[in-house]
Amino acid sequence: MTEIKRRTLLAGMAALPAAACSEIADTGPARSLFETVEGWHRGAHRALAARQALAPEYAPDERSPDIRGNGSISVDTPEYREGLANGFADWRLAVGGLVDTPLRLGLDELKALPQRTQITRHDCVEGWSAIAEWTGPQLSALLDMAGVREEANFVIFRCADTLYGRPYYESVDMVDAYHPQTIIAHALNGEPLPEKNGAPLRMRIERQLGYKHAKYLTGIEAVASFEDIYDGKGGYWEDTNGYQWYAGI
């Protein structure tokens, strides 16, 4: 084998899988294989960690200086501006869908519920992490108040913000919905939630990546399936960019 042939062969060996991967990924079977594999990861995580196993919590001095605002960092409506000015006196969180008693709760009502404060790490899908203290009622308390029906399999989070013209939303299964660290945070490091971090309310889904932690929260909806919601993938980034619905990796 001559030197040139050898090099060509090596370059070809490197380029082939990459080009092939790009082609294969667009096919239906590849898509369903990726989804199957995502299910394996979720299954493995759920098998290895107890359903209620906690994400690590940190000491106050281990917090990072800031929590980056990523994705939407505001809501561009007059009502939101007004809310920012008056402490979101008129903000209501709707709890509905497959529940016995739909609820509409203001911030004061949410703050009157038993609160959980946790110093946890926020991991973005991009790779960075930040640590902060979050406070709010557990989602499980709200779901119990509303009485979730048996046929519900997922909880949808509706948001006030839009990104590239589409409303943000997210969803989790009942394991993460009832997880003790899944809270509706209204405070960050002891202060009302800042605008860039989702004021006045945001989700904390501590065992998954940041895009699951819906900000500017307006509604919680128990559903049997999310197939009919927007593009049916269960979240904004899932619909628009093909992100994994299970974001525990």
Partner 1 sequence: MKHRLTTRLWHWINAAALIVLFMSGLNISNAHRFLYWGDYGFDPKDAWLSVVRFPAWATIPQRYDLAEARDWHSLAAWVFAIGLLVMWVASLVNRHFRRDVATGLSDWKPAAWKRALAQHTRDDVEPDGRYNAPQKIAYGLVLGVLLPLMIFTGLAISPGIEPAVPWLVDLLGGRQSARSIHFITAWLIFAFAVGHVSLAFAPGQRAALKAMLTGRTGEKQHD
168 in contact with partner 1 (CB under 8 A): no
163 in contact with partner 1 (CB under 8 A): no
Helix (H, G, I), strand (E, B) or coil at 24: helix
- The nearer residue to partner 1, 5 or 100, going by C-beta atoms, is 5
Q: How many residues does the chain have?
A: 249
Rounded to whole angstroms, how far apart are CA atoms 32 and 223?
23
- Of 76-84, 85-93, 96-104, 202-210, which part binds partner 1 (CB under 8 A)? 202-210
- The nearer residue to partner 1, 17 or 102, going by C-beta atoms, is 17
Pick out residues in 118-147 that bind partner 1 (CB under 8 A): 121, 123-131
* Structure token pair of residue 136: 């709010």
Contacting residues for 1 by C-beta, under 8 A, at least 6 apart:
9
- The nearer residue to partner 1, 19 or 163, going by C-beta atoms, is 19
Q: Between 28-48 and 3-25, two packed helices, what is the crossing angle to 10 degrees?
A: 80
- The nearer residue to partner 1, 56 or 87, going by C-beta atoms, is 56
Pick out residues in 226-245 that bind partner 1 (CB under 8 A): 237, 241-244
DSSP conformational letter for 54: P
19 in contact with partner 1 (CB under 8 A): yes
53 in contact with partner 1 (CB under 8 A): yes
* Structure token pair of residue 42: 């979720």
- The sign one gets for the Cα dihedral 132, 133, 136, 141 is positive
| Other residues' Cβ atoms within 10 Å of the Cβ of residue 20 | 10
- The nearer residue to partner 1, 160 or 247, going by C-beta atoms, is 247
Helix (H, G, I), strand (E, B) or coil at 84: helix
The residues that touch partner 1, with contacts defined as CB under 8 A, are 1, 6, 10, 14-15, 17-19, 21-22, 25, 33-34, 37-38, 40-42, 45, 48-50, 53-56, 58, 62, 64-66, 68, 121, 123-131, 206-209, 237, 241-244, 246-249
